[in-house]
């Protein structure tokens, strides 16, 4: 059976730039375009040339992409000719293969937001599309508010879409601009539109304001549309755009779509999806969504005792697709509901061989339970769990001893009420291979000072930890009150890009932090085979 | 037209407890159950009594709820009688109104995971449901893997569901346990099931593994199901459960559902949804998802650009529902018009009268924005917001000055590796009504020591704070690394049972904590009219 081709247009660099907290640099844009291209996206919408200097510069030369490079902009303004509209000129002149023209199609909005007439808006669409096509570029028309427009004035919304098609637009894209449409509405309206415009010229652009951007996009495909617009990790204004990171694996791995359609992304490239998703977050300095479908750190994680053993017996029961298919992996979490199977699975993954019948396994399980009853949580602290296991197995060398440490914070307030001094200092005294080392450091807080002092001079081992960076630090306090138990989770990274997490628990946030920092260093030394 | 009633079952406290990184305390469970009850949820599934000591304790006495209080557990084990199954006994004996029994309905899983026979599994369902009903409790049967089961062996899946119904279960809930089903499959299968089981006894339990848990739940309702199971903020195993925080406003505000159905949540209570969502995150020390539909901080945010002016011209174009309907607010990141009304509403709630046209309102708004840009969050710190407003209005007396404070933590390790000393000490020097006071205290951590020293001698005001207790203390660190910004939230209570929350922000956890503690004391003095 021949499969129909679905086309993907990525708008991470354009609609994604509207995400609160996201500011792309030129270099970010180039890197992201390359990632999208390697993934196999058909169209990369790079931005809005003419609207801001960054996008104008990005479109000055065409990046070396296999994908079609698309510029976004508006149809000509009301009361102007296409030739005299600088916005349109910027789109025609820029180094793009395609131009995405956003066009009003909701009569209400033509009147209220544009303060224009229905007729002038139709002409604006026709003339702008013709100008793009005449310049030898492909025209894509994003029909803004199409679903609201269709519900309000069906014939006018259709007239706009048809004007675009007749003027030569390759794609007519139906946009749910405010994100309020529901899947069955989208399906019904797209199906109605296919009576006027062939499905292989129709696209969909959905937003996640009711949490259904993915469902809306797939509903449109079921109704006949053949282009999906979306973004990596669902970046975009308000609640974000349709998440391509979720849509792509669904299209490839779910029979209904996989057996009927093909896309530019192959099963092989799909195995890079998790990495690409995390690389984007890394670039934007955003914490990855652990619960993201397919690519989230928890997407294939199991905590429960009953489910954990079932996952190990037969993964099909609790995994709707194989984690490896999207480059992710199974995680069976060590938790207070832990059983032997969880622990063995986790050890295997961490590269520690231990037989189910080994008596040391029972001791490790007891130790984990004891620690968890004190407040430790190993599910977010692989490296601490690894150390615990290696120590119990007698496979962890003893690298150094801490003799003492002290931390002092001293504050004096000026008469005005402001702080005069905002520092903290720490002293750490260690014994490393018979040598005594004492280091002091200042930091902008007690933990920062302690971290700096601890990693300042580790003698023979210093070269192993020179590239260690503390990348995340989290604190949770249990049972209320300052005298409750404090759990600190620390995440470190090294120059190779490896990351590892450790945990510390104490009544005292300083002690808990110190414990997690010490574990982080010991893990790095152990893993790098320090001697 | 009479509306049909849809029933909501919340599983935040049960399936939500499977979320990686979520550990409920007993007090957390009680607080969350109360929030759910106030929202108008019909069934609150509180946990799995008998499976762990916490849940057993939570089900020892029935919390004072309007909602039905439901315990979760399994049908009787293979080869046991119901009478001899301690798991079933725990469900029968606990203080619940209803019992949710999870039952296998996928023949494949009965064989592979349960290593049982189809017949024994059917009997397990019948006998377990009967036992629950005989004990005078309502039985709800969660049909595990129902959609996979139906696709694999339709008649066996149906036989399981029918066995539950015939044994007297009030609700038969079709579960998409591994989250892999797509909305149209769910719609088709639920519709097929309604030919055998009336829709008003059918429910749906969806997971978000393809990003479509909300769409799957709504598709099931369209096909006839009348109970939706889900969780607040979509907590749950892997990618989470169907997000009730998204589903509830869709059911109330979208015509297709709002005109045909009614739920236990009213339009009035809906206005608390954003607060409830954030309160849960606060309790769990999770960063709220800014992009969450309806309740996210960015759900109604527009970045400067073409959309921003359109939002102000006519909000309908870019807001699919009014933000106030869910207790959220519009954020136009250039000029925030909505801010004033928001602040006036907040002040009114706290009993501070301030006219919309009062010029001091603009100054307060600027101050709040400035503070929020530094990392302060007043949503969880009413008392700090109250103080800020009262000070700006010149209505807060100046009670005392802090001249300095210092904190020291000193640790020495014994040769064995254990800590020799586990204390911390703090000194605080204050000026109160012309008197200088210096106090020192020891604590089991630096914050505890500081808190004790600060409240040791406040001179003339000491009697006002003698009954103050610190009841909760939470820390969040932003932007990763120990040198990031730390936000501390402190909750205090007094002998009258009043509770109030304050916030402090600094690069330094000690300073941030001190700021929040000082606010807490000032609030108490102000509120009690100290002089």
Asked if A113 and A173 sit in the same domain, the reply is yes
Please list every residue in chain A whose beta carbon sits closer than 8 Å to the beta carbon of residue B25. 478-479
Residues A306 and A261 placed together within one structural domain of the fold: no
Least confident range of A478-492, B92-106, B123-137, B396-410: A478-492
Chain A nearest CA to B93, separation (Å): 22
CB contact under 8 A, A182 and B299: no
CATH number at residue B40: 3.20.20.70
Residue B381 lies in a domain: no
Same domain for A130 and A73: yes
Query: Which chain A residues are within 8 Å of B318, Cβ to Cβ?
Result: 177-178
Taking CB atoms and an 8 Å limit, are A445 and B298 in contact across chains? no
**Do A219 and A334 have their domain in common?**
no
Residue B314 with chain A: CB contacts under 8 Å: 112-113
Mutate to test the interface with B, among A175, A409, A503 (most CBs of B within 10 A): A409
Identify whether A21 is part of a domain. Answer: yes
The B residues from 357 to 396 touching A (CB cutoff 8 Å) are none
Is residue A523 in some structural domain?
A: no
Instruction: Based on the fold, state whether residues A161 and A30 are members of the same structural domain.
Output: yes
Q: Which residues of B touch A379 (CB under 8 A)?
A: 20-21
Mean of pLDDT over chain A? 90
Q: Return the structure tokens found at B471.
A: 């009841």
The predicted pLDDT at position A418 comes to 61
Give the residue-averaged pLDDT of B233-244: 97
Q: B310 touching A, CB under 8 A? A: yes
Listed by number, the residues of chain B in 9-68 with a beta carbon closer than 8 Å to a beta carbon of chain A are 18-21, 23, 25, 27, 51-52
Instruction: Give the residue from A392, A409, A444 where a domain finishes.
Output: A392
Cβ–Cβ below 8 Å for A406 and B410 = yes
- Of B381, B362, B15, B181, the C-alpha closest to A255 is B181
Strand A485-493 with A499-506, pairing: antiparallel
The answer as to whether A427 is a domain residue is no
Q: What percent of chain B is predicted at pLDDT more than 90?
A: 65
Spatial separation of the C-alpha atoms in residues A496 and B514, rounded to whole Å: 39
- How far apart are alpha carbons B107 and B518 in whole angstroms? 62
From A71-80, A230-239, B314-323, B473-482, the region with the lowest mean pLDDT: B473-482
Are A228 and A339 part of one and the same domain?
Answer: no
d(CA B161, CA B173): 8
Residue A220: which region, alpha, beta or left (left: phi > 0; alpha: psi -120 to 50)?
alpha
Q: With an 8 Å Cβ cutoff, is A208 touching chain B?
A: yes
Segment B175-198 mean pLDDT? 97
| DSSP element (H, E) containing A392 | helix A382-392
Structure confidence at residue B310 (pLDDT): 61
Mean pLDDT over B1-8 rounds to 92
Q: Percentage of chain B with pLDDT > 70?
A: 92
User: Would you call B237 and A307 a contact, using CB atoms and an 8 Å cutoff?
Assistant: yes
Q: Which of residues 129-148 of B touch A (CB under 8 A)?
A: 145
Residue B49 lies in a domain: yes
For residue B412 the two structure tokens come to 């020495």
Find which of A211, A378, A404 to mutate to test the B interface (most B CBs within 10 Å of its CB): A211
More confident call, A431 vs A317: A431
- Report whether pLDDT(A479) > 80: no
Residue B208 falls inside a structural domain: yes
Give whole-number Cα distances, B331 to A8, B281, B299, B355, B385, in Å: 31, 21, 9, 22, 19
Q: How confident is the model at residue A59 (pLDDT cuts 50, 70, 90)?
A: very high
Q: Which of B178, B317, B451 sits opposite A318 (nearest CB)?
A: B178
Kindly list the residues from chain A whose CB atom is less than 8 angstroms away from the CB atom of residue B446. Answer: 407, 409, 446, 508-510
* Record: contact A473-B480, CB cut-off 8 A: yes
**pLDDT recorded at residue B178:** 94
Do residues A48 and A180 share a domain?
yes
pLDDT at B307 over 60: no
B254 touches chain A (CB under 8 A): yes
- Looking at the fold, whether A218 and A348 belong to one and the same domain comes out as no
pLDDT score of B419 more than 70: no
| Mean pLDDT in residue range A152-173 | 98
Chain B closest CA to A506's CA: distance in Å?
A: 9
Return the residue of A nearest to B288 by Cα: A289
CA dihedral B366, B369, B372, B378 (to 10 degrees): 80
In a domain, residue A14? The reply is yes
Full residue range of the structural domain in which residue A306 is found: 301-392
DSSP codes joined into one string, A179-237: S---HHHHHHHHHHHTTTS-GGGEEEE-B-TTS-HHHHHHHHHHHT--EEEEBGGG--S
| Total domains present in chain A | 2
Q: Residues 6 or more apart from A220 whose CB is under 8 A from it?
A: A174, A186, A187, A190, A202, A203, A204, A206, A228
Check whether B187 has a pLDDT greater than 90: yes
Q: Is pLDDT of B357 > 90?
A: no
Residues A254, A325 within the same domain:
no
A263, pLDDT greater than 80: yes
Task: With a cut of 70, say whether residue B43 has pLDDT above it.
Answer: yes
What is the residue-wise DSSP string for A41-53?
-SEEEEE-BTTBH
pLDDT value for A310: 65
Cα–Cα–Cα angle for A319, A322, A324, rounded to 5 degrees = 135
- Distance from the Cα of residue B49 to its chain's centroid: 21
Candidates B11, B15, B19, B20: best to mutate against A (most CBs of A within 10 A) is B20
Mean of the pLDDT values across residues B45-64? 93
Which residue shows structure tokens 């209005």?
B393
Provide the shortest C-alpha distance from residue A71 to chain B (in Å): 17
Stated pTM of the model: 0.75
Same domain assignment for residues A247 and A355: no
Q: Where are the beta strands (DSSP E) in A6-155?
A: 7-10, 43-47, 68-74, 98-104, 138-144
Per-residue pLDDT tens digits for B429-462? 999 998 999 999 998 888 889 999 999 999 999 9
Instruction: Answer yes or no: do A126 and A205 share one domain.
Output: yes
Q: For residue B392, tell me if it sits in a domain.
A: no
The nearest alpha carbon in chain A to B311 belongs to A113
Contacts of B306 in chain A (CB under 8 A): 74
**Mean pLDDT value of segment B262-276:** 96
Strands (E), B413-493: 424-432, 435-443, 469-478, 485-493
Same domain for A87 and A13: yes
Reduced DSSP (H G I as helix, E B as strand, rest coil) percent helix, strand, coil of chain A, to 5: 40, 20, 35
Which residues of chain B lie closer than 8 angstroms to A74, CB-CB? 306
């Amino acid at each position: 059976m021949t499969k129909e081709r679905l086309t993907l247009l990525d708008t991470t660099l354009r609609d994604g730039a509207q995400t609160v907290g996201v500011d792309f640099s030129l270099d970010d844009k180039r890197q992201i375009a390359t990632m999208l291209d390697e993934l196999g996206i058909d169209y990369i919408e790079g931005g809005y040339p003419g609207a801001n200097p960054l996008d104008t510069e990005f479109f000055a030369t065409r990046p070396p992409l296999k994908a079609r490079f698309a510029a976004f902009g508006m149809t000509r303004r009301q009361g102007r000719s296409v030739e005299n509209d600088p916005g349109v000129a910027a789109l025609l002149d820029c180094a793009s293969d395609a131009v995405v023209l956003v066009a009003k199609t909701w009569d209400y909005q033509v009147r209220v937001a544009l303060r224009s007439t229905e007729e002038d808006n139709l002409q604006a669409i026709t003339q702008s599309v013709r100008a793009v096509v005449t310049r030898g570029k492909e025209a894509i028309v994003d029909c803004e508010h199409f679903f609201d427009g269709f519900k309000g004035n069906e014939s006018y919304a259709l007239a706009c879409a048809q004007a675009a098609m007749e003027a030569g637009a390759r794609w007519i894209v139906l946009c749910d601009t405010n994100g309020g449409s529901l899947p069955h509405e989208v399906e019904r309206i797209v199906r109605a539109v296919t009576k006027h415009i062939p499905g292989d010229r129709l696209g969909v652009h959905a937003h996640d304001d009711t949490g259904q951007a993915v469902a809306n996009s797939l509903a449109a495909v079921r109704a006949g549309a053949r282009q999906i617009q979306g973004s990596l990790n669902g970046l975009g204004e308000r609640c974000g755009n349709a998440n391509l990171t979720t849509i792509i694996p669904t299209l490839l791995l779910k029979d209904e779509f996989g057996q009927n359609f093909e896309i530019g992304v192959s099963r092989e490239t799909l195995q890079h999806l998790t990495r690409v998703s995390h690389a984007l977050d890394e670039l934007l300095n955003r914490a990855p969504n652990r619960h993201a479908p397919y690519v989230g750190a928890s997407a294939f994680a199991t905590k429960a005792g009953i489910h954990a053993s079932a996952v190990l017996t037969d993964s099909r029961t609790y995994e709707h697709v194989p984690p490896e298919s999207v480059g992710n992996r199974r995680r069976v979490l060590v938790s207070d509901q832990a059983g032997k199977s969880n622990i063995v699975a986790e050890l295997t993954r961490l590269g520690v061989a231990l037989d189910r019948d080994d008596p040391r396994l029972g001791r490790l399980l007891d130790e984990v339970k004891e620690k968890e009853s004190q407040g430790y949580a190993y599910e977010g602290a692989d490296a601490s769990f690894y150390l615990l296991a290696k120590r119990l197995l007698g496979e962890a060398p003893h690298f150094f001893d801490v003799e003492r440490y002290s931390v002092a914070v001293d504050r004096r307030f000026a008469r005005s009420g402001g702080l005069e001094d905002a520092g903290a200092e720490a002293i750490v005294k260690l014994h490393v291979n018979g040598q005594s080392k004492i280091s002091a450091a200042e930091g902008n807080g007690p933990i920062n000072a302690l971290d700096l002092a601890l990693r300042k001079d580790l003698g023979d081992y210093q070269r192993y930890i020179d590239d260690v960076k503390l990348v995340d630090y989290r604190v949770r306090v249990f049972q209320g009150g300052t005298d409750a138990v404090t759990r600190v989770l620390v995440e470190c990274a090294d120059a190779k890009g490896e990351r590892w997490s450790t945990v510390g628990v104490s009544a005292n946030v300083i002690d808990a932090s110190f414990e997690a920092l010490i574990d982080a260093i010991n893990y790095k030394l152990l893993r790098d085979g320090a001697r």
